[in-house]
Structure 1
Amino acid sequence: MKTLGYAAHSADSELVPYHFERRELRPNDVAIEILYCGVCHSDLHTVNGDWGPQAYPLIPGHEIVGKVLSVGPEVTKYKVGDQVAVGCMVDSCQECDQCEKGEEQFCRHGMTPTYGAPDRVTGAITQGGYSKHIVVREEFVLSIPENMDISRTAPILCAGITTFSPLRTWNVGPGSRVGVIGLGGLGHMAVKLAVAMGAEVTVISRSKNKEAQAKEMGAKGILASTDTDAMQAAAFSFDLIIDTAPVKHNLDLYTPLLEVDGSLVIVGQVGPMEEQMTIPLVMGRRRVAGSLIGGIAETQEVLEFCAEHDIYPECEMIRIDQINDAFERLSTGDLAHRFVIDMSSLSAE
């Protein structure tokens, strides 16, 4: 299938229009016309080569919403015209213990990311959602609940599941005290989801500049990490802290905030952290953990949870030709929302 996307041709180049071909349908494939695609901070990191060398040209995008154009003969879950979504992965072995229990992101043989990785069958590099079409095996296509606003759904496929999964894993519910470090693309979804689960939620940020936004989302307020007295007074205040900071930072500032047996879960930074003192961990049997997106079943669950509770990311709609400006803003600004590309804007190219 001939199609069009926006690709980076090197780590220091802008994204530009790129004509390429999607694979012909395999028996279990679904061909999708992409209607909206979210812009994730990891798109920027990957394109820039921050996480290692990339195979260019590279089309990013793993928060994909669209409609089914055609299906392979073995597809049973989807039909032409269905509203569907694709998240951060498009394949896994489907046979290991992790895949069998619905944790495909931890596939023992390595899951296949939506872009920038070899296809399990052909070895061709996968290309993402900043494009008009995508072809994905049925098992990695998600159903969008009928009542959802698809123009605001895309970021749930990454920002939503990335924060929903640890909230579920650590059994957040009524009475839980949850802290969220940062009110950016991930953080604002963590707040909305935790509030809907019944938790008492506090945003932890360098300043209180976004306190009004945090309260509008249901948080009780902001704990300013630069306020030494307030931070000391907040010791033992949280059962769970979701750490969405996307850069190297010092956890010693935050671990004393955890209750005994509390956990701080890293979902933002991928890479090195500053040297850490063990004393706050030892003195409170506290834990530092990490979490990677979520499995397909759990991603379907977060879509349905958001539909049920009318939860949407804060979205700024852009045209595809505004993507480089969006990347620039993403790299320099602390944005409490997600960019979403209206892919109908690509048809004029």
Structure 2
Amino acid sequence: MIRTKGYAAQNPTTDLAPWDFERREVGPHDVQFDILYCGVCHSDLHQIKNEWFDGVFPMVPGHEIVGRVVKVGDDVTKFKVGDLAGTGCMVDSCRECENCQDGLEQYCKNGNIQTYNNVNKYTDGMPTYGGYSKTIVVNEDFVLHISEKLDLAATAPLLCAGITTYSPLRHWKVGKGHKLAVLGLGGLGHMAVKFGVAFGADVTVLSTSPKKEEDAKKLGAHHFVVTSDPEQLKAVKGTFDFILDTVSAPHDFPLYLSLLNTNGVHICVGVPTVPTSFPPFSLLDGRKSLAGSGIGGIRETQEMLDFCAAHNIVSDIELIDVKNITEAYERMLKGDVRYRFVIDIATL
């Protein structure tokens, strides 16, 4: 076993704190890389607090992980010592179902294995521990190549915030000639703006905060709508082809569905913690669709990383010391980050 250090929640009522634990030894198909940076995702907080489901504790969060390879198994062909590497939200899947065969491991019909807060039933039966730690061991099929061209710390959030927004935009072929609205300008939303603009869409940011207009324009958005202003909403009613909804708080779905044009699609990537409902006529009027999308498969995530390297796209980040993680969570809940916290693992 490999001894290492991390930051963990011992149960849902405790803050994260230093914790020594063990990783598995490097197997024939495994890659071990020392973690240099790990992004902080809102889902980290949801999971350590059991807001979605009962977790596996002690829990080491973190699924936006980048670092440098220090050891590879005897049968590894995709990586060598010294390579930059990354791991996102998954570390394994069944590999056999039709979704896995199609490169859609995120929708594995037998259940993918999450990078943390899970037990790997396909290998060693051990709990998985995430990237708020010094090193990690992952099967090479779930390790991603990271370009030396990009700012490494700012690349980390691409492994969740990036692929979560890239994947639906690619699936629905959003691009030139489309009017795309991005609902919410946070960790996910700011990446949605960057990708939407890069793909050639006409991008509008929908936000409750007028203060974010300047930032939205700096990120490349063409338009900005304050959703608390009835007149501004009226002006865009029935105009959007797509809404990419990044909001994780309860919100008014019928209101936003009314902003879609005929055949428009409202795509949810944010995950509110409470159930929602809406009248069926908000969909029937205009043959609109309410859809969802969850991260991306390994092949598509590598495609996204390569696209980012070619177009110099990374996240806007604030680098933090790991000892300040509880304060970072508090600020994240207030929207006080532009736009993603990233932990410098050298501070662990």
TM-score range, shorter chain: over 0.9
For residues 74-128 of structure 1, the C-alpha deviation after alignment (integer angstroms, 9 at most, x for no partner) is: 1000000000110000000111100011000000100000001011222211000
Cα contact 2:317–2:338 (8 A) shared by 1: no
Q: In structure 2, what residue type is equivalent to 1:312? A: V
Q: 1:282 aligns with which of 284, 293, 297?
A: 284
Against the structure 1 CA distance between its residues 61 and 146, is the aligned structure 2 distance closer, same or farther, given a 3 Å change threshold? Answer: same
Post-superposition Cα deviations, 1:32-56, rounded to whole Å, max 9, x if no partner, equal 1000000000000000110111121
Bigger Cα displacement from structure 2, 97-106 vs 305-314: 305-314
Aligned to 2:38: 37
* Contact kept? 2:51, 2:273, Cα under 8 Å: no
Hey, what does 1:123 align to over in structure 2? 125
Q: Is the 8 A contact 2:105 2:297 kept in 1?
A: yes
Aligned-pair distance for 1:270? 4.7
Q: Say if 2:30 and 2:139, in contact at 8 Å, map to a contact too.
A: yes
**1:169 counterpart (168, 171, 174):** 171
Do structure 1's residue 293 and structure 2's residue 295 form an aligned pair? yes
Residue 333 (structure 2) aligns with: 331
Could you tell me which residue of structure 1 aligns to residue 70 of structure 2? 69
Worse-superposed segment, 57-66 or 216-225: 216-225
In structure 2, list runs of 5 or more residues that go unmatched.
none
Q: Is the 8 A contact 2:186 2:335 kept in 1?
A: no
Q: Could you tell me whether the CA contact under 8 Å between 1:250 and 1:273 is conserved in 2?
A: no
Query: SS at the partner of 2:106?
Result: helix
The equivalent residue for 1:196 is 198
Match of 1:327, SS state, is: helix
DSSP-derived class of the 1:19 partner: strand
> Per the alignment, in what secondary structure is the counterpart of residue 258 of structure 2?
helix
Instruction: Give aligned-pair identity as a percent.
Output: 50
Distance (whole Å) between structure 2 residues aligned to residue 303 and residue 273 of structure 1? 33
1:333 and 1:63 map into 2 onto residues whose CA distance is 19
Show the counterpart of 1:54.
Answer: 55
In the alignment, the residues of structure 2 paired with residue 98 and residue 176 of structure 1 have an alpha-carbon distance, to the nearest angstrom, of 29
1:133 to 132, 135, 139: 135
Q: SS of the residue aligned with 1:323? A: helix
Aligned equivalents of 1:178 and 1:3: distance in 2? Answer: 44
Q: How does 1:170-319 map to 2 (within 5 A)?
A: 170-319=172-321
Over the aligned positions, Cα root-mean-square deviation in angstroms equals 1.1
Q: Is the 8 A contact 1:142 1:300 kept in 2?
A: yes
> 1:273-325: CA deviations, max 9, x gaps?
43212223111000000000000011001111111111111100001111111
1:343 maps onto 2:345 in alignment: yes
Q: Which amino acid aligns with 2:36?
A: L
Contact 2:61/2:116, CA 8 A, preserved across alignment? yes
For the residue of structure 1 that corresponds to 2:210, the secondary structure is coil
- TM-score of the superposition, structure 2-length normalised? 0.97
Is the 1:181–1:205 Cα contact (8 Å) retained in structure 2? yes
**What CA distance in whole angstroms lies between the structure 1 residues aligned with 2:285 and 2:253?**
15
Asked if structure 2 preserves the Cα contact closer than 8 Å seen for 1:30 and 1:137, the reply is yes
Q: Contact 1:183–1:336 (CA<8 Å) still a contact in 2?
A: no
Structure 1 segments unaligned to the other structure (5+ residues):
none
CA distance in 2, matches of 1:146, 1:278: 49
Equivalent-residue separation in structure 1 for 2:235 and 2:213 (angstroms): 19
- The TM-score with structure 1 as length reference comes to 0.97
Matches of 1:290 and 1:106, distance apart in 2:
12
Letter of the aligned partner of 2:216 in structure 1? A
1:27 corresponds in structure 2 to: 28
Code of the residue aligned with 1:230 in structure 2: it is: Q
Give the superposition deviation at 1:26.
1.5
Aligned residue number for residue 145 of structure 2: 143
Structure 1 stretches of at least 4 aligned residues deviating more than 6 Å after TM superposition = none
Matching residue's letter, 2:78: K
